[in-house]
Chain A
Amino acid sequence: MTPPEYERSNGGLTELLPPLTKHEALVEATRCLMCYDAPCTQACPTHIDIPQFIKKIYTGNLRGSARTILESNLLGATCARVCPVQELCEGACVLGAEHKPIAIGRLQRHAMDYAYAQGGRMFPVAPASGFAVAVIGAGPAGLSCAGELAKRGHSVTVFERRELGGGLSTYGIIALREPVEVALAEVAMIERMGVKVERGADAASFSLADLQARFAAVFLSVGLGATPELAIPGEDLVEDGLEYIEKSKVGGEKLRIGRNVVVIGAGNTAIDCATIAKRLGAERVTMVYRRTEHEMTAYPHEYEFIKREGVGFEFLAQPARVYAESGAVSALECVRMRLGAKDNSGRAAPEPIEGSAFVIPADQIVKAIGQKKPALAELWKLKTERGFIQVSEEFETSVPGVFAGGDCVRARGAASTVMAVQDGKLAARAIGERLVGSG
C-alpha cells in the first residue's frame, strides 16, 4: 500500500489538537522569553534549540525554524505530537511557575507541518564517505541513526521487518496523537537523504556475521517484542493492545470494538487502547490495574485525559480468568489486591487478598501490560541487562561494531520516542567517529 491509501485510514480518528493557526503561532511565539542556555533545550532529550526555532516562527522564517528542529531531531514532526512535553521542555519552561508554559510542542508541529507541506526536503544528499552501515528496524531510533549517518555521507540500509517504516510511530501510537501519514512522511524524508529502506526484511533471518561482512557497522533498533502472557485461563480470547492500536491505524484487518471493553494495564499503550475503544463506539470501557493510580506508568496528563474520556477504573485488581460464552468473551474475573512492601522496581508490590474474586462483565478484553524483551539479543548472542540489550556509553553492544539504541536498550528510564531519537543520534555520532576517526 502506498501512503495515500492510509491517509483516510487512522480508524476515522483525527488529531486531538488542531494545528495552530498562523496567528496563534505568532502570538504564542511572542510570549517566549528566548532564554539563554534555555531549560527547555536542556530538558529536551534531543536538546533542540527551542528558543531559536520559536524566534524563527516569530520572524516568519518557518523553513529555518524546521531546520533548527531537524538539526537536533530528525523526527521533529513525530516528537511534536507524541512527546510528553509536560515532563520535558514545557515542564522546564520558566513561564510555567506563574503563567502558562510556552506551547512548545504545538509550535514545533507548526514549523514541521510547514516544512512537510513544502515537500520536506531539508537536507541535501551528502558526498559519499565510502562506508556502509546497516540499521535493523525503521522505528524512531533506526530512522534517527540512519538519517544522522546519511548526513555524514555514509551509505545506510535500513532493514524493516514490517510493510511500513516508522515503527511504533506508524503502528503503535493512536491516530488521535499521530496519524499514520506523519510517520510515513518522516520515513520518506529520511529516504530522500539517501537512506535505503528495505521493507519486509526480518533481521531474525539474517546472520550477524553475514551482516558484519557486508557492513562496516550495524545499528540495532529493533524495539521490543509482543505483549507478554497474562498466564490466566482463557487468555487466547484476550486481544493484544499493540495489535488493537495497529488495526485502528492501518486497518489491514478491520478493528472490532466491543460494547463493554476491559483494558488490562495502566501504561501509555493501555491508555491509548482505552481511548480507541471509547472513541470508536464502546459503551463502557474499564481499565484494570493491579496497583493504584499512584503507581501507574502512564503520565499524569494521560490519566487526566482518559478520566475526561469517561473511562472507568478498577485499581488493585488482578485478572484471574477470562469467561466465555459460545467462544466469545463474556467476563473477566479479577482478584482484589492490596499494596505490600516495595519490590525491586521501587514500587509497592501488590498482593492478592484471599477470597476477594469478583467478575467484570465484558465482551472484549485487551491487554497492554508492556512488551517482551528483544528476541534478537539471544539469537545473536548479545549480552543483556535485565533482558534488554546491554550497551556502552557509546551505544555499542557486547559485539564490537554492533551498536544498539531505542526501546531495546532501555533498561533504565522511561521508553519514549524522543529518547529513541536521541539514542540514534548519539549512536550515529559514535559510529561515525569509529568509521572515520573522531572529528
Chain B
Amino acid sequence: MGKGWWGVADLSINFAGIRSPNPFWLASAPPANSGAQIHRAFEAGWGGAVWKTIGAPVLNVSNRYGAWHYGGQKMLAINNVELISDRPFETNLREIAEVKRAWPDRAVIVSAMVESKPDTWHDIIRRIQDTGADGIELNYGCPHGMSERGMGSAVGQVPEYCEQITRWVMEVAKIPVIVKLTPNISDITVPARAAAAAGANALSLINTINSIVGVDLDSLEITPNIGGKGGHGGYAGPAVKPIALNMLAALGRDSVVAGSRLPISGMGGISDWRDAAEFLLLGASSLQVCTAVMHYGFRIIEDLCDGLSNWMDEKGFASIADVAGKSLARVSDFNNFDLSFRAVARIDQEKCVRCNLCYVACNDTAHQCIDLIAKDGSIVAPYGHDERVNGRVVVETRPRVQVREVDCVGCRLCFNVCPVEGCIAMVEEPSGRAAVTWGQITQREPAVTEDWQAMEKYRAKMGIEIH
C-alpha cells in the first residue's frame, strides 16, 4: 500500500480529509456488509471501505442478483434488487467502531439512507460519527426497493430533495460528507450542483443503473425470477464503465461543479488498474469497486495497486493527485472537434490472419473501402473459390485485405473488429485542409450548417469529397 508496494509512486490519498493508503475502497455494497468482511478486505490490502448503507429497516428477497454474460465472459454486468443493510442497526454501528479501532490507517466511510425527515437524518449522522468513522456517504442513488419508498434515487433524481437533505446532514456533520449520485437522470450535473450548493464535502458516482437483465426463454419469466416475478434492478459491472466515465467527465467539465472543487470518488465498472487509471485521468481522486470483487474476491486489490503503481512509475506520476483529472482537458464535444483531422486504416499484412472480419464489417456496414486482393494483384469478390479445391492449402491462395486509403473515411470500425493485436492501425494522414471546427463554421459561415446547397459549395471549395 502506498510506498509499501513495489513501485515508487505514492498511492496514498487525502480525499476531502479522509486519508487512505491507496485510492481503492470497497463500494457500499454486499462486499462491505459486515465487520468480518471488511477486516478481511483490509488484510488483503484495500485502502478503505464504504460500509453497506445503513438506515431504514428492510426485508430482502431471494434471487436478488441477476447477471449478464456475453461471449463466454461471465458477469459482464450484474443486476441486483438487494436493499440496504438488513443486519440489525446496532450491530452495524458496533462493528463499524470495531473495524475503525482495528484499522486506524484505513478509510472507514459509512453509507446512510433514511426517511426524508430532518430529525431522522440528524440522528443517524450523529450515531455514525460516534463510531469513529472517517466519513459519511449519502446514498441518493439506490434505484430499486428504496426508491419506491421515497429514498435513494427518488432523492437523487430531484435536485431540490438532494439539496434539502444534504443541508440537514451538514447541520450536524463533523466528518466529511460525500453525496453519491444516481445515473438514472438525464443531466448528472444538476444534482451535483445541488449537493455542492448544500455544502457537501465530496461527490461520488455512479450508483447502479436501472435495468432488466433478461427474460428466461424457457419459463418466459423475468431473470432473475423472484417467485414468478421480476423487475428493475441496479445494473453495475464492466459494461457500465463507459457510462460512468462520461458522467464523471461531465462533472469535471461543468463550471459550477468543477468550480466548487469538490473531490470526486469514481466508480462504475472498475475491474482492474487500467479502469482505475482511466477514472483518475477523468477527475476521480478516490475509487470504489464492487462487481469485480463480487466476481473474484478481495484478492484483486493486489493487482489494482501493483498495476496502477507500475503504470504511474512508467508515466512518471509521483502521486494520485498528479494523475487526477489529467485527461479532463481532452474531453470536449463534437462542436470543437477538428473536421480536418484525418486518419485512415492501415493493415499490417504480416500480422493479418485473413479472417476477413474487417472486410465484411467495412463492406456491409461501413464505407466499402477494403478490398480483397488476389495473389496476382487483382481485386476479387468473396466466396470466389473453386468448390472442387479443398484442403488446408487453400490458405495459400486466400486473398489479402487492403484498405483503399483514398476512400477510407477513418471510421475505425475495422480497427475495432480486428481480432489481432496491433494488426490494424489508424494512421494520421494530412488532409491538406486547415483545422476547422463545426463551431467555427457555424460562426463564420452559418449558411453552410443550415442549407445543403451552401454545404455542397463549401465542400467543393474545401476539396471535401464524400463517396
Contacts and interface: CB of A to CB of B under 8 A. Distances in A.
Contacts of B389: 42
B392 A33 contact: no
A44 B71 CA distance: 26
Nearest to B73: A30
B398 interface: yes
Contacts of B354: 35, 39, 94
Given A26-B72, A39-B398, A33 B391 contact: no
B355 A92 contact: no
Interface string A12-41: 000000000000001100110111111100
A35 B357 contact: yes
B391 A37 contact: no
Interface string A31-59: 10111111100111101000000000000
Q: Is the interface of B mostly helix, strand, loop or mixed?
A: loop
A43 B357 contact: no
B394 A92 contact: yes
A92 B392 contact: yes
Question: Which of A37, A43, A47 is packed against the most chain B CB atoms within 10 Å?
Answer: A37
A45 B386 CA distance: 10
A348 B388 CA distance: 29
A94 B351 CA distance: 11
Interface string B342-379: 00000000000111110110000000000010000000
A36 B383 CA distance: 9
Given A30-B72, A39-B398, A88 B391 contact: yes
Given A36-B382, A39-B398, A42-B385, A87 B391 contact: yes
Nearest to A86: B392
Given A27-B72, A92-B395, A35 B355 contact: yes
Contacts of A88: 390-392
Contacts of B419: 33
Contacts of A86: 392
B387 A97 contact: no
Name which of A42, A92, A95 has the most chain B CB atoms within 10 A of its CB: A42
A31 B391 CA distance: 22
A33 B417 CA distance: 10
A43 B359 contact: no
Contacts of B72: 26-27, 30-31
Contacts of B390: 42-45, 47, 88, 422
B357 A37 contact: no
A87 B398 CA distance: 16
Contacts of A31: 72
A387 interface: no
B353 A94 contact: yes
A221 B168 CA distance: 90
A91 interface: yes
Would you call the interface of chain A mostly helix, strand, loop, or mixed? loop
Interface in B418-442: 419
A182 to B, nearest CB: 23
B84 to A, nearest CB: 36
Contact of A33 (B355, B387, B388): B355
Nearest to B382: A37
Q: Which size class do A's interface residues fall under?
A: 20 to 34
A42 B394 contact: yes
Contacts of A26: 72
Given A35-B356, A37-B383, A42-B385, A30 B71 contact: yes
A316 B391 CA distance: 30
A213 B415 CA distance: 63
A6 to B, nearest CB: 32
B392 A87 contact: yes
A91 B396 CA distance: 12
Contacts of A97: 353
A91 B353 CA distance: 13
Contacts of A38: 355-356
Select the residue from A30, A44, A94 with max chain B CB neighbours within 10 A. Answer: A94
Interface string B379-418: 0001101011111111100100000000000000000000
A36 B389 CA distance: 18
A86 B385 CA distance: 20
Contacts of A44: 390
Contacts of B382: 36-37
Contacts of B359: 36-37
Contact of A39 (B357, B387, B394): B394
Contacts of B387: 47, 426
Interface in B87-118: none
Contacts of A426: 387-388
Contacts of A34: 357
A36 B365 CA distance: 14
A354 B420 CA distance: 59
A162 B372 CA distance: 50
Contacts of A39: 354, 394-395, 398
A131 to B, nearest CB: 24
B37 to A, nearest CB: 31
Interface in A219-277: none
A45 B387 CA distance: 8
Interface in B185-223: none
B147 to A, nearest CB: 35
A110 to B, nearest CB: 16
Nearest to A30: B72
Contacts of B395: 39, 43, 92
Q: Most chain-A Cβ atoms within 10 A of its Cβ — which of B372, B382, B385? A: B385
Contacts of B353: 94-95, 97
A366 B355 CA distance: 46
A145 to B, nearest CB: 16
Contacts of B383: 37
B372 to A, nearest CB: 8
A37 B372 CA distance: 11
Contacts of A30: 71-72
Nearest to B383: A37
Contacts of A87: 391-392
Given A27-B72, A30-B71, A30-B72, A36 B391 contact: no
Q: Kindly name the residue among B72, B354, B391 whose own CB sees the greatest number of chain A CB atoms within 10 A.
A: B391
Interface string A398-439: 000000000000000000000000100010000000000000
A33 B419 CA distance: 8
B356 A36 contact: yes
Given A26-B72, A27-B72, A43 B356 contact: no
A38 B357 CA distance: 10
B151 to A, nearest CB: 40
A425 to B, nearest CB: 10
A296 to B, nearest CB: 18
A36 B392 contact: no
Interface string B437-459: 00000000000000000000000
Given A26-B72, A37-B382, 5 more contacts: A42-B389, A43-B393, A47-B390, A91-B391, A97-B353
Interface of B: 71-72, 353-357, 359-360, 372, 382-383, 385, 387-395, 398, 419
24 contacts: A26-B72, A27-B72, A33-B357, A35-B355, A36-B355, A36-B359, A37-B356, A37-B372, A37-B383, A37-B385, A38-B355, A38-B356, A39-B354, A42-B390, A42-B394, A43-B390, A43-B395, A45-B390, A87-B391, A88-B390, A88-B391, A94-B353, A95-B353, A426-B387
**Lowest 6 CB-CB distances: which A-B pairs, in order?**
A91-B392, A30-B72, A36-B360, A36-B356, A94-B353, A37-B382
